[in-house]
Chains A and B, each alone.
Chain A
Amino acid sequence: GAGVSQTPSNKVTEKGKYVELRCDPISGHTALYWYRQSLGQGPEFLIYFQGTGAADDSGLPNDRFFAVRPEGSVSTLKIQRTERGDSAVYLCASSFSGGARETQYFGPGTRLLVL
Chain B
Amino acid sequence: EDQVTQSPEALRLQEGESSSLNCSYTVSGLRGLFWYRQDPGKGPEFLFTLYSAGEEKEKERLKATLTKKESFLHITAPKPEDSATYLCAVQAKAGRRALTFGSGTRLQVQP
Contact = CB atoms under 8 A, between A and B. Distances in A.
Interface stretch (B14-22, B58-66, B67-75, B93-101): B93-101
B43 interface: yes
B99 to A, nearest CB: 6
A105 B42 contact: no
Given A42-B102, A100-B31, A105 B46 contact: yes
A101 B43 CA distance: 20
Contacts of A58: 98
Interface residues of A, number: 29
A93 B46 CA distance: 11
Given A41-B103, A109-B43, A103 B97 contact: no
B22 to A, nearest CB: 15
Contacts of A105: 46
A43 B98 contact: no
Interface in A1-54: 4, 31, 33, 35, 40-45, 48
Contact of B97 (A44, A98, A108): A98
Interface string A73-115: 0000000000000000001010100101111111111000000
B45 interface: yes
Contact of B46 (A98, A100, A103): A103
A108 B43 contact: yes
A103 B34 contact: yes
Nearest to A111: B41
B98 A31 contact: no
A55 B101 CA distance: 20
A106 B97 contact: no
B108 interface: no
Contacts of B42: 108-109
A108 to B, nearest CB: 5
